[in-house]
Structure formats: structure tokens, C-alpha cells
Amino acid sequence: MFIKCDITGLNVDRRVVPLIKANAIVSVVALLIGVVAALLLVLTRWQVVHLLPMDWYYRILTLHGLTALVVWIVFWEMAGLYFGSTVALNARQVAPGLGWLAFVLMVVGTALVAYAVLFTQRADVLFTSYAPIKAHPIYYLGIILFAVGALTVAGLFFANILTAKKEKTYGDGPLPVFTFGLLAAAIITAGTLLSGAVIYIPTFLWSLGLIDSVDSLVYKMIFWGFGHSSQQINVTAMIAVWYLVAFLTVGGTTINEKVTRFAFLFYLIGIMLASAHHLLTDPVRSASWKVFNTSYFMYIAVLASMIHAFAVPSAIESAQRRRGFTKGLFDWLKNAPWGNPAFSAVFLGILNFGFIGGITGVINGMEQTNIIVHNTLAIPGHFKGTVVGGTTLTFMGLTYYLIPLIFRKKIRFFGLAKVQPWLFGIGIALLAVGFSTLGYLGVPRRHWDITFSGGPFTFTFPPVIDLFWVIVVLGGLIGVIGALAWILIVVASVFFGEPLRSKEDMQIPIADVPPPAEHKGFAAPGTFTLTLIFLTAFLLFTALNWGWLSVMWEVK
């Protein structure tokens, strides 16, 4: 059942490797569809081209939302859950047959959704499918099957780690921090998918005519219990991967296990209930409910993010300092392995996620400043920063290790690989900032024509939007090229790459763990400086937003 990996020394259950590979490969196919859709969409929103006609715009937008936000990421995460609960722990895979059943359910579910959207053309409902807008029943059925599959894999993750603990495959301490982070992600997955069952099953029955009607406000509240939690799976998994990549690239680990684990605990307490931030400007009769929930339980989960914002870079910094890069504040960063695309992807991912995604996110999620941004392009601007510039880029980065370690292939086009994270990271940053600015200027999201042709009145946005549309298109094109480059590298390596024979063949090394060292004073002064800069930027942007809000019309 087990073979010993000649590179890492870990015991690998032979039966889990094809499961990891299958899920990873499907995730890349989904990303390809999502990226092509993104290209069509950005060339439509830029009305100089206005590529897609009205119905196809909303159709492709639906497809893009599902393939990029859900299918790509969740299939990749399934591969990660398998890896983190078996290979990382020297443990066996419980019931691999069930894993294959789950895989089939997820693939069939995805196919049904794609069929409903593209062929029945009765599912132009967008990812949110807000009732009373109603899709073809097959659309909902596909999502339900996908969710059942994913929930099964989350269950297998739990089975694996409980079995590994019983069989003492990883010593007698707690789970390694990478797997512990994935555990947090798996718990949030359970919360997500159970909420998904509560919203999608009745809605499916309604689409079949078996239920009379669905209250639209109740729908939206339950939907986002599923919808936002699904994104918090991504955040948590991404952060777990950050710790793993810090270890692989520089031999670094969290400078304090207790602090990092408590941060994950705080996520478990408060991250899912912030789904309320989708209903801040909705007719819910309780400001207390809005404020308590949108604040991630009085900001305990935001505190967790801020803790990781220090813990992850300091893991890198402390390892680098122990390696001898102690000069000044940033010698450690200058001498980091920037030629390793896994490292550059993660570092750019941290910057995108924190500065663009995180700063805009807290503002979007404050009850009153949400008035400024709700349903404008600022919302996509925020989540391009988080899930595209952050999570997707991070997962792309770790994949550069999965190719040699799991697929046992060398990375083809390695020169391109070194540049790829920069293309994608910078492209998406431009796209996100462009969208956010347009949103602050009032431009709506999910809108086919901002000249309002056919309407009784005209309205023109401030002319400066033309500049920001160009920034959006530029960023979008660069990002698409970056994504296609990654897909090309992965496909070429996995299917046509040179086989990897031994550790010497690895183009990106697994770093040695640097010697321990006594450190006086600050453990990570460079990181501390970066986090203070981040905090300053955050407070500035926050102050600006509250200032802008205060000069708007009064409303209560």
C-alpha cells in the first residue's frame, strides 16, 4: 500500500496519488474555461469592443462565476485535502473508493451545470441565482451533486486525520500546521456545503414546481451562508499553503505554533457568520444582527487574518535570518529565492490578498460604508484581489512543487514559469484596482451597457472612467496571459514533461532547514515594518471611505 518518497522521505499511500492527480487535472481544465470566459467578459464590459451580445454576456458571466470561483478552486482543494491528510502525515487513505465516487459526482455535477448554462440557455442566473429568478432544474441538480461530492471528500479528510492520529503516523504531537490549517478549511467546507444543501434543495424543488414559492430575502440570507463561507474555505486553505510553501522554499515555519493555531481557531469562531456582509443594505430589520455578524464576531476573524499577516512573512524572515541574511530590515527578502516560482507566487499572493483584497474587504464589510460599494464594480475589484490575485496565484505556486513531487515530472518551459507569477499577479492587481476605482465612481457590476441604451433617461459617468477601463483591460489581458502560461506549463509538464528521476532533477529545491539561532529583540523586524505599512494603508483607506460616506445624502 505504501511507497517511500525518495525525495521527501514521506510514506505515500499508492491509492491516494491517482485521486490527487485526477482532482488536480480537472481543476486545471475548469480554470481554462474560467479564464477564456474572463477574456470574453472583460472585452464586453469595455464597451469600446462590447464583444458579447446581451444574453451571452450574462450567460458567460454565470459560467465564469461557477468555473473560476467554484469548480477550479474546489477541485484543486480536494487534491490538497487528500495530500494534507495522507502524504503530509505518512498516513493511509480511508476508503479510496468513496473518493472516486465523490470525484464522479463532482465531475457529473459540473457537466450538468455547464449543460444547463450553455445548452438549455435557461440558466442565465449568475452565480447567485437570486430567487425569484429561476433556472432550469438541471442547473440546481448539478450544483447539488457537486456539493455532495465535495462534502464526501471533506468527510474523508476527517476520517483520514482521525485514523492517522489513532495509528500514530505522525508522532504524538498535534497535526502539523499545514494540515491543521486544512482542517480549519475542511470544517468551513462542512459549514458551507450544509448551508448549500439548505438553499439548493428547496430551490431545486421549486424549479420543478414542487414548492410554490421562495421568499427572496430568506433565499439571499441562506444563499450567502453557503456563498461566503465557500470563499472562506479558500482563504483558510490559501493560508495553510502559505505556511507549506514557506517551509518548502526557505525551510521556514511559524515562529510560534500557538499563535498560528489560535488564529485558525479564531477563523473557526467568526469567519462564516460574516456572510452577513452581503445583506448590509438589504431590508433586514436589525442593525445588531448586521453589525455583530458582519464584523466577523467583533472582528475576531479579522484579528486572525492580521495574525497570519505577521506569522507567514515572519516564518520566511526568521528562516532567512538564521541562514545568515541579517543585514538591515530587508536583506532577508532581497535574498529570498525569487527565482523559485512557488516563492514568488506566494509572496505576490500575500501582497495582492492583503493590500488589495484585505483592505477593500474590511470597508466593504462595514455596515455603513457598504452603502458606497454595494453592487458596484468595487465588489469584483475586492474579490479579484482576494480569490484571484491571492488564492488562485497561491495555488498556482504550490503546483510547481506538485508537478515534480506528485506527478514526478520536470517543469517544462521553466524560464516562463519563473515569470508567470509576475504576469498573473501584476495583471490581476491592475484589474482589481481598475475595477475598484470604477466602482467608487458608481459603475455597476453585472451590467451589460452603462450607456443605458433603451432607457427613458441618459446618464454619463465621469469621463475618467475611460482611463480606468483601459487599466482594467490591460490588467485583464496580462492576467489572462499569465493564467494561460501557467496552464500551458502544467499541461506540458504533466503530459509531455521529462520524468523526474531523483532529488537532483528538481528545478526548485526543497530547502534545508536552517540552523536554530538565539534571537535577541525582535524576531522579524522586516515583517513588523511591512505589517505597520499595511496597517497605515488600511487606516488611510478606511478614513477616506468614512469621509466620503459622511458627505453623502443622509439616510436612516
Partner 1 sequence: MEDKKPFLERFLDNPIGLLIMSLGIFAISYFIWGIIIVLSTPPLPEAFKISILGGE
Partner 2 sequence: MALNVPAKGWYATKVAKDEKSWIVISVIAALALFIWMSAWHLFGKQNPPVSVYTTTPDEFYRLAQANWQKYKVGEEEGIPVVAPPPGGDVFLLASTWRWEPVIKLKKDQEYKIHISSLDIVHGFSLQPVNMNFQIYPHYDYVFTFKPTSSGDFRIICNEYCGYGHHSMIGKIIVEE
Q: How many binding residues for partner 1 (CB under 8 A)?
A: 40
Nearer to partner 2 among residue 422 and residue 461 (C-beta): 461
- Subset of 392-411 contacting partner 2 (CB under 8 A): none
- Subset of 5-44 contacting partner 2 (CB under 8 A): 8, 10
- Report d(CA 213, CA 480) in Å as an integer: 41
**Closest distance to partner 1 from the beta carbon of 505 (Å):** 37
Residue 133 sits in the site that holds partner 2 (CB under 8 A): yes
Cβ-proximal residues to 455 (8 Å cutoff; 6+ apart), any chain: none
Residue 47 contact partner, candidates partner 1, partner 2, none, CB within 5 to 8 A by sort of partner: none
Q: Which of 49, 54, 467, 544 binds partner 2 (CB under 8 A)?
A: 54
Please choose, from the candidates 196, 185, 195, 193, the residue with its C-alpha nearest in 3D space to the C-alpha of residue 157. Answer: 185
**Closest distance to partner 1 from the beta carbon of 237 (Å):** 15
81 contacts 153 by C-beta, under 8 angstroms:
yes
User: In this chain, which stretch among 21-29, 309-317, 325-333, 340-348 interacts with partner 2, using CB under 8 A?
Assistant: 309-317
**Closest distance to partner 1 from the beta carbon of 38 (Å):** 31
- The count of other CB atoms within 10 Å of the CB of residue 204 is 20
HEC assignment per residue over 452-467: CCCCCCCCCCCCCHHH
- Report d(CA 187, CA 350) in Å as an integer: 23
HEC assignment per residue over 424-491: HHHHHHHHHHHHHHHHHCCCECCCCCCCCCCCCCCCCCCCCHHHHHHHHHHHHHHHHHHHHHHHHHHH
Beta pairing partners, 444: 376
- Report d(CA 113, CA 195) in Å as an integer: 19
Residue 183 sits in the site that holds partner 1 (CB under 8 A): yes
Q: Which of 36, 98, 201, 265 binds partner 1 (CB under 8 A)?
A: 265
- Subset of 31-50 contacting partner 1 (CB under 8 A): none
Cβ-proximal residues to 386 (8 Å cutoff; 6+ apart), any chain: 231, 234, 235, 352, 353, 356, 357, 358, 361
**Closest distance to partner 1 from the beta carbon of 233 (Å):** 12
Q: How many binding residues for partner 2 (CB under 8 A)?
A: 109
User: In this chain, which stretch among 234-242, 288-296, 303-311, 384-392 interacts with partner 1, using CB under 8 A?
Assistant: 288-296
Q: What is the dihedral of CA 539, 531, 419, 321, to 10 degrees?
A: 170
Peptide bond into 132 cis (omega under 30): yes
- Report d(CA 398, CA 406) in Å as an integer: 12
Residue 59 contact partner, candidates partner 2, partner 1, none, CB within 5 to 8 A by sort of partner: none
Stretch 146-165: interaction string toward partner 2, x if CB under 8 A? --------------------
Residue 513 contact partner, candidates partner 1, partner 2, none, CB within 5 to 8 A by sort of partner: partner 2
User: In this chain, which stretch among 352-360, 388-396, 468-476, 524-532 interacts with partner 2, using CB under 8 A?
Assistant: 524-532
Residue 556 sits in the site that holds partner 1 (CB under 8 A): no
Q: Which of 25, 29, 46, 58 binds partner 2 (CB under 8 A)?
A: 58
C-alpha cell at 327: 543585514
Of the CA atoms within 13 Å of residue 122, those in its CB half-sphere come to 10
Stretch 184-223: interaction string toward partner 1, x if CB under 8 A? x--xx-xx--xx-------------------x-xx--xx-
The H or E element that residue 9 is part of is none
Residue 54 sits in the site that holds partner 1 (CB under 8 A): no
**Contact positions toward partner 1, by CB under 8 A?**
158, 161-162, 174-175, 180, 183-184, 187-188, 190-191, 194-195, 215, 217-218, 221-222, 225, 229, 261-262, 265, 268-270, 272-273, 275-276, 279, 283-286, 289, 292-293, 297
